[in-house]
Structure 1
């Protein structure tokens, strides 16, 4: 996250230097030809390359205050952008040097929010004419349309993040089970096409809605691997409120097992909460990706968190294994390894933890001596400690 100094510098870079003005005609006619050309490009103004500065300003005034154009622009806003826009509409002007640029860049690019920098202060406002058109929209059925757009967007984002890849008809089934106002596959596809007018973290690929980074190579190996691992498996469907939390790509369930791992690290290995929280984020991600235990243990070394004994390594390995066993995996259709094993009726009597692919098994004996570099690695890899987790 950027610090305040960096946030301020970014905001100033994109602000107009001078006193704030709220009249859109005045604003547009005072912009540089370069900035007008950028706005004209966003609105795809025909013949813009041949227009003079005044002509561009007048044409942009028509575009920006067109009710249908404004409606389309508003519908494509993301939740954090929308929240900020509403707060700006309710005020004559907002003074905040440290507002995150990413939250209002979309509005700035469309001329719906203007920023000024004067006397070492950043001012942000919605032009008067935009407020008037927006008020007309609010008086109509726009609010219900916006709510539906945002709900469908959150479902698409959440499903892509949670499942990795999902067929549109399955997502429609989930949506309709959790909402009174149902949706069809055709409607979902139409929404997706509109959302695709902006860069998104999801995309349609070979008939699946997928998280964007699932296809990062020409051979789409990760996508194929996921489909193969999912073949014949059912989907775990969280409750609506829980599922929609995954529309935030950084969200994950903080399970009791992750909490126990964090508590142990804080108590025994590192008292810096910020470092430990960052480590837990990475461990959870590694578990969800089914990464080797060596990669997870290397994260401790990166953060200069050292183990004093094999007992500590043994305990951390056990706790990581528990975290993995309770991690919801895309390869399991959202089920945890333990849940999937139960569904497959592979468990015998009594409690048997699912063994993660990274072979996180350790012996049960309590070892208190320091780990020697030539000792067998307690992760169970069969390698010496110096060749494995001690690298």
Structure 2
């Protein structure tokens, strides 16, 4: 009895601690949200915008922009340096952007340096950590503002054909990269460069390409870059395992995709909704009170579980947690759809091939042996019997007219 009371007390203490931890997190998030959208004015100078930040925030801008010799400066001294450095470094920053980020600046600039674009907290931090866009509340509305010095520098760079060309180039590089990672999961920098060389108009240099990737990672969070340059799709659970599986199949080449296929797979939110995928979605809609969007989301999660090499039984367990599967027949139907989806999903560990494709190739390679010509041996003489020889059965007829027919 005492043991039961102790276990119950421990459980209650754990739940209480968990509740306190959640409250603390929510309080921190609320404070961060209030700070992000504190009252501000427009137009605003770069010095005034920077003064709204902490010394730690300013140091992050200094590090991001690679401003040398300013690490020991006081806050106001650092602000004075950044007021000079941020507009000067803007063309270089623009040269690392793709069209999605460039259009955000363009849209705000066309509104006089003020407007609103829906951004995640990470995306907002991206702009602030480069000193380009700041957030606040103006007349009770959440607003994004470009400081006046940055706005003037952007308008000047916006007319530069070289900047426009780099933005177009970066957009193509990133879409092809995203497409490759959608199909292959994880790739080294050299592998990515090799694929870009096949499909992109401009061949990337290692350092420049890595900078473009890093900037995209900071804003989109849809890829992850390791210290050695190895880059992974954000849904890859274990990049090291994917790379090991690639190396374990040296005779299997990466499945080739056209530039059109890679660009399509590189679009935000792309999912390969093949026939088996759609059949699974329809099955869920037919048997459960669920919207098509909800069913699609479940099957999409199933695809990523398959691509990460999760066991089929574990994938089934995921559905058992979400859905009521109350009969053996229904369980078998779920498993049938999971297996079908598994066999027709392009898998990271298989270098973009589906199991069905590889099985078909293996089957094709197993060609049947040519039919062997039948031979008859006379047991008495131990010699092969010719077609015109007497039949060994003793009938007196030629072999070809008797048993050799």
Q: How does the TM-score come out when normalised to structure 1? A: 0.72
Counterpart residue number, 2:328? 310
Which of 43, 47, 50 does residue 21 from structure 1 map onto? 43
Q: Unaligned 5+ residue runs, structure 1?
A: 1-5, 350-391
Q: Are the counterparts in 1 of residues 177 and 196 from structure 2 also a CA contact under 8 Å? A: no
Counterpart residue number, 1:344? 362
Which of 320, 336, 339 does residue 338 from structure 2 map onto? 320
Counterpart residue number, 2:148? 128
* SS of residue paired to 1:251: coil
Q: Are the counterparts in 2 of residues 176 and 182 from structure 1 also a CA contact under 8 Å? A: yes
Deviations 1:29-76 (A, max 9, x none): 56665654443444344453553444333211110110xx11222233
* SS of residue paired to 2:136: strand
> Matches of 2:68 and 2:186 in 1, distance apart?
39
Deviations 1:306-332 (A, max 9, x none): 234333222222222221121111222
Larger mean CA deviation between 231-240 and 308-317 belongs to 308-317
Counterpart residue number, 1:156? 177
- Pairwise CA distance, 1:123: 1.4
- Pairwise CA distance, 1:284: 1.1
> Matches of 1:108 and 1:194 in 2, distance apart?
18
Q: Unaligned 5+ residue runs, structure 2?
A: 1-27, 368-405
Counterpart residue number, 1:276? 295
1:225 matched to 2:245? The reply is yes
Shift in alpha-carbon separation, 1:290–1:54, aligned structure 2, 3 A: closer
> Matches of 1:147 and 1:81 in 2, distance apart?
12
* SS of residue paired to 1:345: helix
Q: Tell me which protein shows more helix as a share of its residues.
A: 2
Counterpart residue number, 1:101? 121
Deviations 1:138-164 (A, max 9, x none): 222111012212322333343234213
1:255 matched to 2:274? The reply is yes
Shift in alpha-carbon separation, 1:312–1:11, aligned structure 2, 3 A: same
TM alignment of 1:1-391, pairs within 5 A: 11-28=33-50, 35-66=57-88, 69-77=89-97, 80-96=100-116, 99-140=119-160, 141-166=162-187, 170-179=191-200, 181-183=201-203, 187-188=205-206, 190-192=208-210, 195-196=213-214, 201-203=223-225, 210-211=232-233, 220-228=240-248, 230-247=249-266, 251-303=270-322, 305-346=323-364
Q: Are the counterparts in 1 of residues 46 and 149 from structure 2 also a CA contact under 8 Å? A: yes
> Matches of 2:263 and 2:29 in 1, distance apart?
29
Q: Are the counterparts in 2 of residues 20 and 116 from structure 1 also a CA contact under 8 Å? A: no
Q: CA RMSD in A?
A: 3.6
Deviations 1:287-321 (A, max 9, x none): 22342222122122211x12343332222222222
Deviations 1:349-379 (A, max 9, x none): 9xxxxxxxxxxxxxxxxxxxxxxxxxxxxxx
Q: How does the TM-score come out when normalised to structure 2? A: 0.70
Q: Are the counterparts in 1 of residues 184 and 352 from structure 2 also a CA contact under 8 Å? A: yes
Larger radius of gyration: 2
- Pairwise CA distance, 1:7: 10
Q: Are the counterparts in 1 of residues 170 and 212 from structure 2 also a CA contact under 8 Å? A: no
Length, aligned pairs only: 335
Shift in alpha-carbon separation, 1:84–1:165, aligned structure 2, 3 A: same
Counterpart residue number, 1:386? none
